[in-house]
Amino acid sequence: MLILFNKPYGVLSQFTDKGTETKRPTLSKHIDVPGVYPAGRLDRDSEGLLLLTDDGRLQARIADPKFKLPKTYLVQIEGEADEASLDRLRRGVELKDGMTRPARVERIPDPALWPRDPPIRVRKTVPDCWLELTIREGRNRQVRRMTAAVGYPTLRLVRWSVGDWAVAGLQPGEWRKAEGGISWR
């Protein structure tokens, strides 16, 4: 079984919270399906597609960077990204843990997304723009670190798709079982 879940902002990508005295929202608030586990992670302050499965081999195949499954994000950044910065992302950028693989990235019009709760901070004197960015690895907070490395802090991060699976049609907190078979590119 494979579940597509639109993880809301502020929800941990796990079923229990053992990290703090103050309990934070977890997957258990949204998904009551026994035996499924996240295939990969999505930071608490990121939103969008999180895949869950009861199949350990499938979970490893989705999460393991050696399979280079593409992950596409809609990224709202502070500032107006220029072509030189986008080209740096396309070639790969140097992070503290090494060079990233080249990303596919384009500026896009403001996407028609659900409102975020709480809303992002807005500074009237600083413009922002949206990028569609696809990576084929999954380091800790990688997209945020990549945009910061080229001078554009991330304001909002929504994972739109992983491989052939997308969050389209799901509101935050909603989930559905994946239809059909599983194909690998």
| Percentage of the chain modeled with pLDDT above 90 | 76
Class for domain 70-162, per CATH? alpha beta
Question: In CATH, what number does 1-67+164-185 get?
Answer: 3.30.70.580
Question: What is residue 22's predicted lDDT score, i.e. its pLDDT?
Answer: 74
Backbone angles phi and psi of 51, in degrees to 5: -95, 140
Residues annotated as catalytic (active site), given as ranges: 43
User: Residues 127-142: pLDDT tens digits?
Assistant: 999 999 999 988 889 9
Domain with CATH 3.30.70.1560 in the chain: 70-162
User: Residues 4-48: pLDDT tens digits?
Assistant: 999 999 999 999 988 777 789 999 999 999 999 999 889 999 999
Question: What is residue 18's predicted lDDT score, i.e. its pLDDT?
Answer: 81
The pLDDT confidence band at residue 78, using thresholds 50, 70 and 90, is very high
Question: What is residue 179's predicted lDDT score, i.e. its pLDDT?
Answer: 75
Measured CA angle at 99 (ends 66, 142), to 5 deg:
70
Q: Which residue has the higher pLDDT, 182 or 59?
A: 59
Domain with CATH 3.30.70.580 in the chain: 1-67+164-185
Relative to beta strand 94-95, strand 98-99 is: antiparallel
- What average pLDDT score do residues 97-112 get? 96
Question: What is residue 182's predicted lDDT score, i.e. its pLDDT?
Answer: 56
Residue 56 has pLDDT above 60, yes or no: yes
Question: What is residue 185's predicted lDDT score, i.e. its pLDDT?
Answer: 45
